[in-house]
Amino acid sequence: MSPQTIALITGGNRGLGRATALALAEAGTDVIVTYRSHQEEAAAVVDAVTALGRRAVALELDTTAFDTFPAFAAAVRDALGATWDRDTFDFLVNNAGVAAASPLGETTPDVFDLLTDVHFKGVFFLTQALLPLLADGGRIVNLSTGLTRFVSEGWSVYASLKSAVETYTRYLAKELGGRGISVNAVAPGPVGTDFGGGGIRDDEEFRALLAGQTALGRVGVPEDIGAVIAALLAPGTGWITAQRIEVSGGSLL
Ligand SMILES: NC(=O)c1ccc[n+]([C@@H]2O[C@H](COP(=O)([O-])OP(=O)(O)OC[C@H]3O[C@@H](n4cnc5c(N)ncnc54)[C@H](OP(=O)(O)O)[C@@H]3O)[C@@H](O)[C@H]2O)c1
């Protein structure tokens, strides 16, 4: 790894991706954030990272547009050359995601496909497309969810796909170990973001219910997750690999 580390964070324009970009920048890492539909938010993250004294680039990416991945990898290669005079980056954070409930008896194939594309197929094929650009000794963090440990009715498809991501994390850790790359899954509990319409952040009653189920007595804020991902990507923690690390304040213990 080069002394100046570079992280690529999918869905880095808002929510947990944005918090991760800022936590990494505070810790001295430069960032490439991807955005799908909010270029202005991504530009604001670039400005915030720059204000912290680090370099940042924003690139457009729909993680379900699989046939665009070769062109996206080429854009990453160009950005690495132009901004850092490098042909690799160090940390991949597979964060982009959407919420969609999948109640039994009411879930359509379209919802199933949407969730599969963004939460598993996209993670698999994007990682595959970017592996040649990931430096030996680098690291990958995949976002999972507390819902793979505890059950919340109506979320079976989303949670099952995140379980697939956790299994994929272990396979990647094994298969990339020879290159010195460590791979872990971070599994947040409920965090107040726009996710799922923003209810965890904005619905006081729902937030109180979730807080009551949490050992530390509140729902998470994006910075709780960004700090842990930055810690997992810090110097000295690379020996942690193939782990699911739950970051939930002790949800539903
Ligand atoms: N918040 C929680 O309670 C929670 C708990 C456990 C796990 N997670 C996981 O954490 C991750 C981030 O969630 P969040 O709370 O930060 O959600 P969020 O605030 O809704 O942000 C989601 C991000 O993902 C991007 N995204 C969505 N679909 C995409 C696609 N097809 N291609 C590229 N980017 C796409 C969004 O881009 P746009 O701005 O263009 O829409 C946005 O940047 C997700 O994987 C989620 O499953 C969240």
Centre of ligand 1 to C-alpha 220, Å, is 15
Mean pLDDT taken over the chain = 97
pLDDT tens by residue, 98-115: 999 899 999 999 999 999
The answer to whether the beta carbons of residues 42 and 12 sit under 8 Å apart is yes
Pocket test for ligand 1, best of 9, 13, 14 (most atoms within 8 A of CB): 14
Centre of ligand 1 to C-alpha 245, Å, is 18
Q: How confident is the model at residue 3 (pLDDT cuts 50, 70, 90)?
A: confident
What's the rounded Cα separation, in Å, for the pair 218 and 60? Answer: 34
Number of structural domains the chain divides into: 1
Rounded mean pLDDT, 31-44: 98
237 located within any domain: yes
Rounded mean pLDDT, 156-175: 98
Q: Is position 171 annotated as part of the catalytic site? A: no
Is residue 139 scored above 80 in pLDDT?
yes
* Ligand 1 near 200 CB (within 6 A): yes
pLDDT tens by residue, 199-242: 999 999 999 999 999 999 999 999 999 999 999 999 999 999 99
The answer to whether the beta carbons of residues 238 and 181 sit under 8 Å apart is no
What's the rounded Cα separation, in Å, for the pair 22 and 45? Answer: 8
* Ligand 1 near 16 CB (within 6 A): yes
| CATH of residue 45 | 3.40.50.720
Is residue 186 scored above 90 in pLDDT?
yes
* 3-class SS of residue 3: coil
* Ligand 1 near 15 CB (within 6 A): yes
Rounded mean pLDDT, 20-39: 98
204 located within any domain: no
Query: What residue type is assigned to position 133 of the chain?
Result: L
Centre of ligand 1 to C-alpha 178, Å, is 31
Query: The domain containing residue 172 runs over which residues?
Result: 6-192+223-246
217 located within any domain: no
Rounded mean pLDDT, 87-108: 96
62 located within any domain: yes
Pocket test for ligand 1, best of 36, 60, 152, 166 (most atoms within 8 A of CB): 36
Pocket test for ligand 1, best of 39, 60, 98 (most atoms within 8 A of CB): 98
What's the rounded Cα separation, in Å, for the pair 170 and 198? Answer: 31
51 located within any domain: yes
* Ligand 1 near 63 CB (within 6 A): yes
**b/e string for 106-125 if b means 16 or more Cβ within 10 A?**
ebeeebeeebbbbbbbbbeb
| 52-85-137 Cα angle (round to 5) | 80
164 located within any domain: yes
Is residue 1 scored above 70 in pLDDT?
no
Centre of ligand 1 to C-alpha 195, Å, is 6
Question: Integer distance in angstroms from the first to the last C-alpha of the chain?
Answer: 38
Q: How confident is the model at residue 154 (pLDDT cuts 50, 70, 90)?
A: very high
Centre of ligand 1 to C-alpha 110, Å, is 19
* Ligand 1 near 9 CB (within 6 A): no
Phi-psi region of 37 (alpha: psi -120 to 50; beta: other; left: phi over 0): alpha
170 located within any domain: yes
Rounded mean pLDDT, 131-139: 98
